[in-house]
Amino acid sequence: MAVRGTRAAAFSALVIPGGYSPDRLRLRHAILDLIRDALAANIPVGAVGHGPQVLISANVISGRTITCWPSIAIDVTNAGGLYVDRPVAEDRGIITARKIDDIGPFVETILRLAC
């Protein structure tokens, strides 16, 4: 599905993958708008590993508790987020996980909020 023209209301939740994809996703204004729209509509937004880089670019983590891959913890802090080193963090519609090993509790949290 193309992101341009897509509305957040079409989804129960959004999930940003980790790895190298966040570096490309964060350059797409339509993605950043979709994330902001989802949060404004109380639609959960999840991010794993490096995924919070997209949240940083969307300017939505200030004042929120975030976990992530350790190498971007300083980026989270610099963007105004409260970094925590735990498997999953949930704060006002944003659900984050450190790595793929934390995916079980991450998915459980998203399902609880999306359903």
- Give yes or no for a contact between 113 and 44, defined as CB atoms under 8 angstroms apart: yes
- Give yes or no for a contact between 52 and 83, defined as CB atoms under 8 angstroms apart: no
Whether 29 sits among the annotated catalytic residues: the reply is no
**Catalytic choice (32, 38, 50, 57):** 50
- Among all residues, which ones are annotated catalytic? 50
